[in-house]
Amino acid sequence: MRKKQEKIPLLSKSRFMAGWQCHKRLYLELFQPQLADPVSEANQAIMDSGTGIGALARGIFPDGVLIEQDYMHHREAVIQTAELLKDKSIPALYEAAFMYDDIRIRADILVRVGKNLFDLVEVKSGNSVKSEHIPDTAIQVYVLEGCGLRVRRACVAHLNKEYIYPGGDYDLQELFAVDDVTEKVREILPDVPELLADMRAALSASEPPDIAPGKHCSKPYDCEFCGHCFQVFPEHYVGQLPNARAKLLTALAEAGIDDICDIPDDFDGLNPLQQRVRDCVVNGCVYMGPHLNEELVRIEYPAYFLDFETFNPALPLYVGTHTYQMLPFQWSCHIMDESGNVSHEEFLHNGPDDPREPFAESLIDVLNDSGSIIVYSSFEAGQIRGLIRDLPHLSQDLYAVLNGRIVDLLKIIKEHCYHPDFHGKFSIKKVLPALVPELNYSDLEIREGSLASMAYAEMIAPETTAKRRREIHKNLLAYCERDTEAMVRLFEKLRGE
């Protein structure tokens, strides 16, 4: 057992926010970082995007000076910041460094508005102010004022979802919105010393705090220690019950039940789906509902198994689009006739221009005017509605696609099928290995939708080599085709084939 901590590491803005979410997360981050889950490619891309947006936002407050010392040289950055603050001709500092009460911060943008009076601007890559941004900003105000600076306003700059890109260079004053959150920050600022004291008390202990996993593990951020903390749970933990609310989980905890296998048959409070999950887990059986066949015989042939891939760039790339607009760039379609014969069609946009119109035109051509269109979730229908809005000259043909032809395979499975290996989830990545274990994504370079989005963004980037573009093109086609092949195989499984 480790001795009581003799020295607590310095805190920072990110560490404060980790402690705000969960003291155990903060403790593990500082003393046992090797227990963290690996950073996914998707999460790394989000962090990289945030860095670029932070740099772009400096243009809202031009002619400032960047503190160039990196985060590994905080002491030097503090010294450089102090020197530059003496120069009254500098209107703003970017990445200004400060230390107070053993807390290190780097202020995204510090704008001079008077004698020793500043506006603090925290830059976020999202398109709105979120509740967690308030303590994030408050800890910075606490440090700045502790260092003797006066803060007039505390602001959060974020991408403006109302900005429609007209082409050319971005109008930064329109691309970003700067929201004044001073009042909310001032409300919680008196609580900061106590919050810090609680965090430091937890950090001074010889062992991590005994905090059970729960909803806080993913709010406001996904904790990187979930893999470690959730090891304490049984394979069929009660938290896997679909849509389990706090009241039900509390009742189960009070009954001393943390394993679905231990839930009595007559336990009060389970809805029909949760009862089905309980029964399948307890009995080790697969449920195929008595009305499943009624759903399947409604399918009209030829049946089109359809899947889209999309990306949503933080910064709009095409005229008429906005920040984070979802843009479809690829589809795959397996086509089954009434005899069960299957063919395949596909489309992948392969240029730097807006993919929506060629995507829609190719889709209309392949879907014809009859036959069920089988999707997995409501996502594809939502994207078609977006194309109807954005491409009015194709709206009539696109409306015909939606007109009573869409069949949601996810809904059918959720209502009429359950396997214990679903573990309470119904995504295709959970359902496929349980029902069709011989088919998976392990042989592919791209294995999930978020990585497909990232790959497409790389493929169309000007700096990407032709060789790399060809490689990504091949990998994207293989991934999207596997998604619709998976739907065909699931459909066949449901039919008992």
The H or E element containing residue 254 is: helix 246-254
Distance of alpha carbon 105 from alpha carbon 98, whole angstroms: 6
Dihedral, CA atoms, 439, 443, 448, 452, nearest 10 degrees? -130
- Give the bridge partners for 24, in sequence order: none
Distance CA 376, CA 359 (A): 19
Q: Where are the beta strands (DSSP E) in 54-91?
A: 65-66
Half-sphere exposure of residue 209, counting CA atoms within 13 Å on the CB side? 18
Structure tokens at 127: 């398109």
Tell me the H-state helices in 119-245. Answer: 133-146, 172-175, 182-188, 192-203, 226-229
Geometric angle at alpha carbon 245, from 291 and 212, rounded to 5°: 125
Q: Do 11-199 and 286-497 have matching folds?
A: no
* Centroid of chain to Cα 112: 35
Specify the long-range contacts of residues 1-6, CB closer than 8 Å, at least 24 apart.
Answer: 1/206, 1/207, 2/31, 2/206, 2/207, 3/206, 4/204, 4/205, 4/206, 5/31, 5/203, 5/204, 5/205, 5/206
**Dist CA 100 CA 141 (whole Å):** 11
Q: State the alpha helices, DSSP H only, in 307-420.
A: 356-367, 379-390, 395-402, 409-416
The dihedral formed by the CA atoms of 363, 368, 371 and 373, expressed in degrees to the nearest 10: 10
Domain ranges for the chain: 11-199, 234-282, 286-497
CATH topology classification for 11-199? Lambda Exonuclease; Chain A (3.90.320)
Distance, CA of 455 to CA of 445 (rounded, Å): 10
398 burial (CB, 10 Å; 0-12 / 13-18 / 19+) is buried
DSSP string, 410-472: HHHHHHHEE-GGGTT--SHHHHHHHH-TT--STT-S--SHHHHHHHHHHHHSTTS-HHHHHHH
Lookup: tokens for 355: 């993919």
Per-residue pLDDT of the chain (497 residues), as tens digits, is 445 666 889 999 999 999 999 999 999 999 999 999 987 776 776 666 667 899 999 999 999 999 998 888 999 999 999 999 999 999 999 999 999 999 999 999 999 999 999 999 999 999 999 999 999 999 999 999 999 999 999 999 999 999 999 999 999 999 999 999 999 999 999 999 999 999 999 999 999 999 988 889 989 989 999 989 988 789 999 999 999 998 999 999 999 999 999 999 989 899 999 999 999 999 999 999 999 999 999 999 999 999 999 999 999 999 999 999 999 999 999 999 999 999 999 999 999 999 999 999 999 999 988 999 999 999 999 999 999 999 999 999 999 998 899 999 999 999 999 999 999 999 999 999 999 999 999 999 999 999 999 999 999 999 999 999 999 999 999 999 999 999 999 999 999 87
Q: Determine how many CB atoms are found less than 10 A away from the CB of residue 480.
A: 23
Q: Is 123 helix (H, G, I), strand (E, B) or coil?
A: strand
Q: Does domain 286-497 have CATH number 3.30.420?
A: yes
Provide the whole-model pTM. Answer: 0.90
**Residue 329 backbone phi and psi in degrees, to 5:** -130, -10
DSSP annotation string for 46-58? HHHHHHHHHHHHG
The identity of residue 400, as a single letter, is A
